[in-house]
Structure 1
Amino acid sequence: MASPAPPIHHLSTCTVKPSPLPPKHCHLTPWDLAMFSAHYIQKGLLFANLPPSLSTNQIIDHLKSSLSTALLHFYPLAGRFVTEEAYDENQKVTGIFWSIDCNGEGAEFIHAIADKITVSDVLSPSDDVPSFIRSFFPLDSAINHDGHTQPLLAVQLTELSDGIFIGCSFNHAIGDGTSYWNFFNTWAQIARTKGVAPLSRPPVHNSWFIVGYDTAPIKLPFSHPDDLLERFSPPPLREKIFHFSVQSIAQLKAKANQECSTNSISSFPALAALVWRSITRTRNVPADQKASCRLSDQNRARLSPPLSPDYFGNSIYAIIATTTVGDLLNHDLGWAAWLLNRTVADHNDCTIRGRLREWMARPMVYQLTGFDRFSVMMGSSPRFDVYGCDFEWGKAVAARSGSANKFDGKVTSYLGWEGPGSVDLEVCLVPESMSALESDEEFRSVVCPSLELEVLVRANNRYS
């Protein structure tokens, strides 16, 4: 079960600003506006055994300086949201407009210390994710609308007894996981190269017009934000990391394809099918109950013409495969993987534009309370270059997330430490379901022992 929280003390808080920029006002897309009731993205990296020649103050000064430079390129993150109201001839509010005032107000940077916590405490490879990790992230429980008064980006460096953790809270109405990891990698590149080298993936702003819409602000037909916002608190959850090696993923993919007599099922639908079946089995619900698996899929490459892969903003949809519990569990893994594979294939330019038209006709924001408790949500992606974030200290030991956007059935996917082909899944379930999942025969047959302790040994040798 989750560990008790050791003390974590905030030593300092400051604001990091970019160099002065010309005033800009950025309008938001439907993909951005729909995120206003969700939490900030909270993701971070654990670094072990940094160069002994570097003091913590040197690390912090360098991070602040490089962050200031990064904010010049990712300038929306240094701004704040603003709301404007629309009125009729009788001065009655007929709608609201949300946008970003890119005023350079800055991002928050926190220096904290947790000298009773070790790197191995964070890793806890055979245990649940420790509850103290949520304290490594600022703006806990904040929803994206809070970016009117709170920073759109907040960074916390937490000193551990033998390493550091860098946690970022990144407003999800500013960008999705693709945007988040592009920012994090770019920041690391600037720090690593002292800002001299050209950016390998400069962000692309203001390409919304490619989708066929101009840049005019979108009017939301509500008189007050309270009409569409909510603050979600999940029930008590267990969170655990499960590791899937390159070999286990390859074997799972081969099994799914063999059972369907095809070779078109890719790795992730096969893994998602395993998770969907295994979690559904833990819930002991009737065979005629509908059960869904939602996959967070980005739209950039699926549009025609495509958005740039470096488009900075949101461009994702949750795509949904639905069947009955009986069909899901009575058929084999390949059947479920094929269903998910077809769902992904059907997510194309026509489908995306259809969903945009529906949203424009009836604007809404996503509500976490509306998640179906019989379903599974696969978020994030093992394609994100998590371990490319090298601040000149070498590869991170592990990635972890805060408490944001978690609920029963939420599964977050990370690239495994081994590299492409390996996957780490962070699974969030109510306690009784997690206990059943740990004993599920089909699931256990694919999960591998965690590599993180071996990784830690390698990190220990880096500067010895």
Structure 2
Amino acid sequence: MTPPPPPPQSVRFISDCFVKPPQLPPQSDHPLHLPPWDLAMLSLHYIQKGLLFPLPPRCLEIGFDRPAFIRSFLEKLERSLSSALAHFYPLAGRLATLKRAEPPLYNVVVDCANSPGARLIHAALDMTVADILSPTYVPAVVQSFFDHDRAINHDGHDLSLLSVLVTELADGIFIGLSMNHVLGDGTSFWHFFNSWSEIFRAQERGAVDVVQLSRPPVLTRWFPENHPGPVSLPYTDDPSSFLAHFEAPELRERVFHFSADDIAGLKAEANRQCGTTKISSFQSLTALVWRCITRARHFPPGQVTGCRMAANNRGRLDPPLSPEYFGNSITPLRTAATVGELLGGGLGWAAQLLHAAVAGHSNAKLREWNQEWIKRPQVYHMDKTFDPYSIMMGSSPRFDKYGNEFGLGKAVALRSGYANKFDGKASGYPGREGGGSIDLEICLPPATMALLEADTEFMAAVTVS
């Protein structure tokens, strides 16, 4: 008789605390009102991204006082996190709903004054760095490296808007951040992570608690000029008709690596097929992924399939927003074609279609979207916004993800939690070696993943380590 499989590993909770900034600015006494791009996120999950660091070799030596090292490390994290929250103080708050009886309208805001702060958790797991990185597919235990599992952003009325889970491994440390998506997009998430790392390093050099950042955030929210806020939502004391929790189907998650030469080759081929030089590296990679996942799904030729890309709107508005704007300023930009058109047209054809959609994403369209949303508010629902015939390219390899150091050297890998994953979700990260390389995290059902892994066009572009 075959013995049952061992139970899955899970982290052991050790301790937690709440962290607040040393002091709050005067404006924190007033609610922070949120514009449409923020409020549209209420029914999605928190952003969950984190970095895996190896412990310094001395920590593994016999006789080394590892508990003292970990205590000191956590104290430094707490001190630097408190200082970082002085610059990003809304992350220490909670969501609150202001209600008006006539008409029955509700304003979701950030209450920065009445909150215990951001959460910092210490946990441990009897696994090694190799146990996390060596399997072909991302182990399910990685989902337990993040707090607020399966929480939606509206839950930020009761949950911390930022939670840091520090998981101690046998020979490494994973720092996982869960940030409420209503507070900001991927640009804002990594801006905070980068700033926290900058403060940690400055304090390691003996700087005072409050460190002046090289890129201070712009916290003032952007509203359309003819509707400066607040924006009301059409739900009552029971927001269930407006919000929805989402459970993903069984998915396999794999990180595919594309070297700088792989990416350059894709870009050159896409531009050659179209007789242009305008198609970007990421548009070329997205075209490849869209084509190959669609082929693996075996849809009929007449089925319409879509590709969504997370477009950063900061530089597209007129006047543009600051690159340091802290909030949501993204649009899931959709391109569509029939399966027959997509698979029959070649890489360049698909990339040209994506390029045209990005090029047409204008200030006028962004303002029109905001005006329409204010008239008819609605939030993104993953089961409706992201249909099963499409793919979604999220995150960005342009974010500085491996520049975050906390006295442990450079991270060896980036991983994400359960949040905002579904059939056809892909996330782009910079490759650890830099230079234009890209890691692509793809989520697919097991059968579809197996077909993608057998796709010769796709695997020819992947660097096998």
Q: How many residues align?
A: 442
Residue of structure 2 equivalent to 1:118: 128
> How has the CA–CA distance of structure 1 residues 385 and 96 changed in structure 2, closer, same or farther, with 3 Å as cutoff?
same
CA distance in 2, matches of 1:354, 1:24: 29
The reply to whether residue 162 of structure 1 matches residue 171 of structure 2 is yes
Q: Is the 8 A contact 1:29 1:218 kept in 2?
A: yes
- Structure 1 residue 205, shift from structure 2 partner: 1.1
Measure the CA separation in 1 of the matches of 2:10 and 2:356.
48
Deviations 1:363-390 (A, max 9, x none): 1000011121010000111111001112
Matched, 1:218 2:218: no
Per the alignment, do residues 315 and 213 of structure 1 end up closer, same or farther by CA in structure 2, a change over 3 Å counting? farther
For residue 108 of structure 2, what is the amino acid of its counterpart?
Answer: W
Instruction: Tell me, in whole angstroms, the C-alpha distance in 1 between the residues paired with 2:7 and 2:341.
Output: 41
Cα RMSD for the two superposed structures: 1.6
Distance 1:282 1:101, change over 3 A: same
SS at match of 2:80: helix
Counterpart of 2:32, as a letter, is: C
Q: What is the CA–CA distance in structure 2 between the aligned matches of 1:159 and 1:24, rounded to whole Å?
A: 38
Structure-2 residue corresponding to 1:136: 145
Q: Structure 2-normalised TM-score?
A: 0.92
Give 1:435's aligned residue.
450
- Could you tell me which amino acid in structure 1 is paired with residue 256 of structure 2? F
1:4-19 correspondence runs (5 A): 5-19=8-22
Aligned CA distance change for structure 1 residues 213 and 55 (closer, same or farther; 3 Å) = farther
Match of 2:459 among 437, 444, 457: 444
Distance, in Å, in 1 between the alignment partners of 2:400 and 2:455 is 30
Distance in structure 2 (CA, Å) of the matches to 1:439 and 1:333: 18
Superposed CA offset, 1:21-48 (max 9, x none): 2323100010000000000000000001
1:402 alignment partner in structure 2: 417
Paired residues of 1:37 and 1:229 also in contact (CA < 8 A): yes
Q: 1:252-271 residue pairs with structure 2 within 5 A?
A: 252-271=266-285
**Structure 1: any 5+ residue segments left out of the alignment?**
451-464
Q: Which whole-Å CA distance do the structure 1 matches of 2:227 and 2:82 have between them?
A: 31
Whether the aligned pair in 2 keeps the contact of 1:80 and 1:152 (CA below 8 Å) is yes
1:51 Cα offset (Å): 6.6
Counterparts of residues 17-416 of structure 1 (less than 5 Å): 17-21=20-24, 22=26, 23-50=29-56, 52=58, 55-88=69-102, 94-103=104-113, 104-114=115-125, 116-124=126-134, 127-194=136-203, 195-196=207-208, 198-209=212-223, 211-212=224-225, 215-223=228-236, 224-370=238-384, 371-416=386-431
How many angstroms apart in 2 are the aligned matches of 1:376 and 1:3?
Answer: 34
Structure 1 residue 18: Cα displacement = 1.2
Q: Is the 8 A contact 1:108 1:153 kept in 2?
A: yes
**1:425 alignment counterpart:** 440
User: Percent of pairs identical after alignment?
Assistant: 52
SS at match of 1:56: helix
User: Does the 8 Å contact 2:35/2:221 carry over to 1?
Assistant: no
Whole-angstrom distance in 2 between the partners of 1:47 and 1:300: 32
Q: CA deviation at 1:207?
A: 4.5
SS in 2 for 1:272: helix
Match of 2:63 in 1: none
Tell me if structure 2 keeps the 8 A contact 1:239–1:428.
yes
Q: Which amino acid aligns with 2:166?
A: L
- Contact 2:105–2:232 at 8 Å: present in 1 too? yes
**Partner Cα distance (1:429, 1:13) in 2:** 34
Aligned-partner SS, 1:265 = coil
Question: Quick check: 1:383–1:415 contact (8 Å CA) kept in 2?
Answer: yes
Change (3 A) 1:329 1:142: same
What is the deviation of 1:225?
1.7
Q: Indicate if the aligned counterparts of 1:77 and 1:152 stay in contact, CA closer than 8 A.
A: yes
The CA deviation at 1:11 is 0.4
Distance 1:102 1:3 in 2: 45
Counterpart-to-counterpart distance in 2, 1:278 and 1:388: 32
What TM-score does the superposition give when structure 1 sets the normalisation length? Answer: 0.93
Q: Which amino acid aligns with 1:17?
A: K
CA contact (8 A) 2:34 2:221 kept: no
Query: Which secondary structure does the structure 2 equivalent of 1:55 belong to?
Result: helix
Distance 1:108 1:414 in 2: 26
